[in-house]
Structures are given as structure tokens and as C-alpha cells.
A = this chain, B = another copy of it.
Amino acid sequence: MSTAAPTPRSRVTRVPKRGVYDRATIDAILDEALIAHVGFAVEQQPYVIPMLLARVGDRVYVHGSTASRMVRKLAAGVPACLTVTLADGLVLARSAFHHSMNYRSVVLLGDAVLVEGADERAAALEAFTEKLLPGRWDEIRGPNEQELKATRVLAMEVSEASAKVRTGGPVDDEEDYALDTWAGVIPLALRAGAPEPDARLAPGIEPSQAVLDWAAARGW
């Protein structure tokens, strides 16, 4: 895999110590995030839209309806920005100024391209389902011709990506450590509740092990 070397526009300039560029970190953040925020501009007006994402190797995929204004715009080949952010904690400092959040984010710049090859499209669609729930692809009906026609898959390269990560406790001004204010971190994570069966589920159909495992691993 390529190294995601920072370019002038993808380099983290603000608090540069938080900037990381190694592909393992970038990939792990992209793979954990369920939702990306994808930005594109139409006549100077930027739009930022939430989309599911899935990574396969050096490409990050998003998808949408053939009828979607956004998908049509992106598929025409315009500069885009795909950003994912994972909230990891509230950072409660002794001063208002040093309050912060722990987070991991990736910003990916580049043109989105329409994926036209049947094999790559199929692999990307499988990746979306497997991203939501590993093992799910083998449990469900795959896409038919009509559904494939109704879906557009777009790809962006991971090559121009940067990650930003904040971890750890608050960093207060030296004199504020004398205050008697509690300071620390409240950890945050996206967690899962117990699976809720569809109202039309036939009696006797139980959640698969894949469903139970996913929910249990993230249970609240």
C-alpha cells in the first residue's frame, strides 16, 4: 500500500503534533467510522452530506441512488473532501479555554470518480454490507440487475489523506492545577443496544451469530 504523504493542502497546520499520516492509523479510523461527511461545491456553495463509507485497499467508496443530485454531481468529477470523525471523550479541564474532545479524524481530499467496472462495483457493494456488519453478506439476498442500475458507486483514493488524533487528559495552565476543580476525561464511544427484530419477522427466525456478536462487542 502507498504511504499517504502529506501534501501542502492536506498537511495538518493547526496543532501539528496532532497530525498523523501513517496508513495504518488512517485505515483504522476509516474502517471504524460508519458515516463519512462528504463535501463538494456547487457554484461556490459547499454542501456536506453524510454517507456510508467502506474502504477496500487504497480506495474509499461511497454510494447512492442514481437519481441523487449529490451522486450525479460527484460522479461528474469534481474536487471533493471526505471526512470521518470518531468522538472518543469529553476532555474536562480546569479552565474553559482548555476544554476539548478526544477524537480521531481523517480528511481525504481528491476527485471522486464513478466506479464503472462490474467487478469493482460488486466488491464495493459487498464491502458496504460487510462494513455495517461483518458476515452479513452471506446471510442476505445480493443485488439484482435493477438494484445495480439504481446504485452508483463512487471512489476516492486514500493517497491524499491526513489523520488528526487527540488522546489523553486535559492540559491546563500551570497555575490552574491549584484549583479544586475536578478535571479528567469522560470516555465516549458509539455503542450498540440489543438487536430489535423487524415487525414482520416470521416466528422462529433468530438473529445470526454475526448479528449477536456485533451487538455484544459494542453493548451498552
Nearest CB of B to A136, in Å: 7
A50 in the interface, Cβ–Cβ < 8 Å? Answer: yes
Q: Of all chain B residues, which has the CB nearest A85? A: B50
Give the CA-CA distance A198 to B94 in the complex, in Å.
10
Q: Which residues of B contact A179 (CB under 8 A)?
A: 140-141
Give the CA-CA distance A23 to B169 in the complex, in Å.
36
A2 in the interface, Cβ–Cβ < 8 Å? Answer: no
The proximity string for A residues 58-97 relative to B, scoring 1 for CB distances below 8 Å and 0 otherwise, is 0000001101111000000011111101010010111111
Q: Which residues of B contact A191 (CB under 8 A)?
A: 188-191, 220
Contact yes or no, A107 B198, CB < 8 A:
no
Contact yes or no, B193 A187, CB < 8 A:
yes
Q: Which residues of B contact A129 (CB under 8 A)?
A: 96, 99
A151 in the interface, Cβ–Cβ < 8 Å? Answer: yes
Give the CA-CA distance A52 to B195 in the complex, in Å.
31
- List residues 28-78 of chain A with CB under 8 A from any CB of chain B: 34-35, 37-41, 44-50, 52, 64-65, 67-70, 78
- Pick from B44, B107, B215: contact of A49, CB below 8 A: B107
- List residues 180-220 of chain A with CB under 8 A from any CB of chain B: 180-202, 205-208, 211, 214-215, 218-220
On whether A186 and B215 interact (CB within 8 A), knowing A44-B41, A151-B97, the answer reads yes
On whether A186 and B198 interact (CB within 8 A), knowing A70-B14, A92-B133, the answer reads no
Give the CA-CA distance A97 to B95 in the complex, in Å.
49
Nearest CB of B to A8, in Å: 11
Contact yes or no, A48 B132, CB < 8 A:
no
Q: Which residues of B contact A132 (CB under 8 A)?
A: 90, 92, 99, 101
Contact yes or no, B142 A46, CB < 8 A:
no
Contact yes or no, B48 A13, CB < 8 A:
no
Q: Which residues of B contact A139 (CB under 8 A)?
A: 181-182
Contact yes or no, A48 B107, CB < 8 A:
yes
Give the CA-CA distance A40 to B41 in the complex, in Å.
8
